[in-house]
Amino acid sequence: MERFRWPDGFARIPDEDWARQSLESLALKYDSVENHGWYRNLEPTLDQLQAKLEPGQLLIDYSGGTGILVDRLLKRDSELDAGLMIIDASPKFLRLALEKLGKDERLAFRWIRYLKEERRLERMDEVVGDAWLERGADIIASTNAIHLYYGLDETLRSWLRVLKPGGTALIQSGNIRNPAAGDEWIIDETVGAIHRTAMQIVRDDDAYAEYRGGLDDSGRMERYDRLRDKYFIPVRPLGYYEQAITNAGFAIDSIEKQTIEAKVQEWYEFLAVYHDGVLGWLGGVEKIDGRPASEQAVKDRLRLIRASMDQLFNGGESFDACWTYLTCRKPA
């Protein structure tokens, strides 16, 4: 069988500014989560991809970020005969994916722009190119991202327009409120719990006495609540996603739940990158208080995040989180 080939005239790497930019520290910090144990959440999706992706087919990794999923897939099967297109809305993350994987001829990269006049992101069918709209993708994967989509209905419809009839969409997230979760955490809900624990520590511990006054300013704290919700989108129930997926025209073939062990230290390291969103009220952030937090306030903030996690998880080294996996199909 002839090996996978990109269509004539198709540019794997578009001639765009993002592809020439320097690597950004935020992308490098985010990419380090690949080494965290809770990123075992990708293993069930990788198992499915190895079982479903056939020679000559195209996989689109939507919200593929820094390329962690595709990189792991290629490490599992270095001889994989398929096209792999990473699509993401962050040029910084996509630039790092290009740095890591761009020399591999099986890889293509597409940036989703924000259309200011229409106040929306480009849709998948607007960025893959005419050749792929005509041919169709075989599999779309979305890992650790669907809970972030504001225009979910139209995003899913655009996936349907790009997929071949009978094509597969593999969706997973640790931020879907699954009734099968039991006592397991929905991972982003730990952030709100950390925030509430931290406020109590500040009230009780004189080491944080200088920050107590801000807790009584309800207007300010509400602004920080809204900021936190931008960093960590409020968790929606599984039924919300089921309805959106079926309304878009997909059939849901299976819904599965996995328990993923998350190390407290590793989750702390991830949250420390986004400390403004977790506990920005301690020390302030410029967009709300008109000045950035001092160096000492950032140190206190990070120390408080860790202390709150130790208290929240009873000093344990890990906690159980619930991941939900949906296998969907475009009807033939």
The domain spans of the chain are: 17-173, 189-230+265-318
Task: For domain 17-173, give the CATH superfamily.
Answer: Vaccinia Virus protein VP39 (3.40.50.150)
Task: Give 81-118 pLDDT, tens digit per residue.
Answer: 999 999 999 999 999 999 999 999 999 999 999 999 99
Tell the burial category of 270 from Cβ atoms under 10 Å away from its Cβ (0-12, 13-18, 19+): middle
* Structure confidence at residue 1 (pLDDT): 43
**Would you say residue 8 has pLDDT above 80?**
yes
* Structure confidence at residue 2 (pLDDT): 53
* Rounded mean pLDDT, 226-240: 95
* Structure confidence at residue 25 (pLDDT): 80
CA 99 to chain CA centroid, nearest Å: 19
**Would you say residue 146 has pLDDT above 50?**
yes
Residues 319, 266: contact at Cβ < 8 Å? no
Cβ-based neighbours of 261, under 8 Å, separated by 6 or more: 37, 38, 40, 318, 319, 320, 321
* Structure confidence at residue 324 (pLDDT): 98
AA identity, residue 197? T
Task: Give 26-79 pLDDT, tens digit per residue.
Answer: 777 777 777 788 899 999 999 999 999 999 999 999 999 999 999 999 999 999
- pTM confidence score: 0.92
The string over 238-260, giving b where at least 16 C-beta atoms fall within 10 Å of a residue's C-beta and e elsewhere, is beebbebbeebebeeeebebbeb
**Would you say residue 239 has pLDDT above 60?**
yes
Average predicted confidence (pLDDT) for the chain:
94
Task: Give 243-292 pLDDT, tens digit per residue.
Answer: 999 999 999 999 999 999 999 999 999 999 999 999 999 999 999 999 99
Sign of CA dihedral 30, 35, 39, 44: positive
Rg, the chain, Cα only = 21
Q: Give residue 157's pLDDT band: very low, low, confident or very high (50, 70, 90).
A: very high
* Structure confidence at residue 161 (pLDDT): 96
The rounded distance, in Å, linking the Cα atoms of 127 and 129 is 6
The rounded distance, in Å, linking the Cα atoms of 239 and 242 is 5
Task: Give 179-203 pLDDT, tens digit per residue.
Answer: 999 999 999 999 999 999 999 999 9
